[in-house]
Amino acid sequence: MRLAEKLLVKPGSKVLLEDIKTDATPGFKEKPDVETILRETAEKMAKLQYLMFAENKRSLLIVLQAMDTGGKDGTIRHVMTGLNPAGVHVKSFKVPSAEEMNHDFLWRIHQAVPPQGDFGIFNRSHYEDVIVVRVHDLVPRPVWKARYAQINAFEHHLVENDVTILKFFLHISKEEQKRRIQDRMEDPERCWKLSPADFKERTYWDDYQEAYADALSKCSTEWAPWYVIPADRKWFRNLAVAEIMLEALESMKMKFPKPSFDPSKLKLR
């Protein structure tokens, strides 16, 4: 069985995050030569990125969601490192601005969708509007419950317009999060990333797990699947995301366009 199939949330299935081991490494009995594998994968993805740019018919959107310290930034840094930055759009969705609040919740998301020929990476995404708003009771229950269907329809619209969507939930344990926060507290080069809110958010751990489980269950579709990536072991997280991305790119069967003129009829002087 392919790794993607092992980590896929099958459409229509109910996700129980407590049943998914956060330190699992399916397909690997021991840690492989991660650097070599990632370097080879990066080289292949870079070639396919160039091909996508040349073809200019489709785009790829990567959605990363996780609990705090789950590894979204690390995944981008390690997995996307070989890509041409000119063709990669990374968007981090923070608290909506006043202007964004005056529109529907998907308005700011649609503006960040990558154009044809490019990659897009969402560091957090439209799923904050069925997760954070739910946990912190920012909108009424009927409002966020209706958003699952709205998200599915929105993503279906994107896919019908040649946007391939891959969604990754980086799944870490509460114990691993505690260890990572402690490491940051003791590291003068990283402690600046912490805030009192990080400690407060841990008290909502169970509520977040329930909200994520519902989002994964209700919004993993044939056209925009979710993958739950065991992320306690960073090396496996990186390899899993890279392999699924590469497989998706290879499945597109992209081709270089033919030149708009006949090169044989031109002479260099």
198 phi, psi to nearest 5 deg: -60, -40
Task: Give me the tens of pLDDT residue by residue for the chain, a chain 269 residues long.
Answer: 799 999 999 999 999 999 999 999 999 989 999 999 999 999 999 999 999 999 999 999 999 999 999 999 999 999 998 999 999 999 999 999 999 999 999 999 999 999 999 999 999 999 999 999 999 999 999 999 999 999 999 999 999 999 999 999 999 999 999 999 999 998 888 888 788 878 889 999 999 999 999 999 999 999 999 999 999 999 999 999 999 999 999 999 999 998 888 877 788 77
CB atoms under 10 Å from CB of 130, counted, come to: 25
Residue 104's region, left for phi above 0, alpha for psi from -120 to 50, else beta, is: beta
In the chain, how long is the greatest CA-to-CA distance? Answer: 72
268 in any annotated domain: no
In a domain, 130, yes or no: yes
Domain membership of residue 223 (yes or no) is yes
Cα distance between the two ends of the chain: 56
Is 259 inside a domain boundary? no
Radius of gyration of the chain (CA): 20
C-alpha distances out from residue 88 to 73, 82, 152, 191, 249, Å = 15, 11, 24, 28, 15
The amino acid at residue 245 is: M
Q: What is the CATH number of the domain that holds 61?
A: 3.40.50.300
Q: Give the chain's domain count.
A: 1
- What is the span of the domain harbouring residue 113? 3-253
Pairing of strands 119-123, 226-230: unpaired
Residue 234 lies in a domain: yes
- Establish if 8 belongs to a structural domain: yes
State the residue for tokens 């003068």.
Answer: 188
pTM for the structure as a whole: 0.95
CA distance 261 to 259: 5
Q: Which residue has the tokens 């650097």?
A: 35
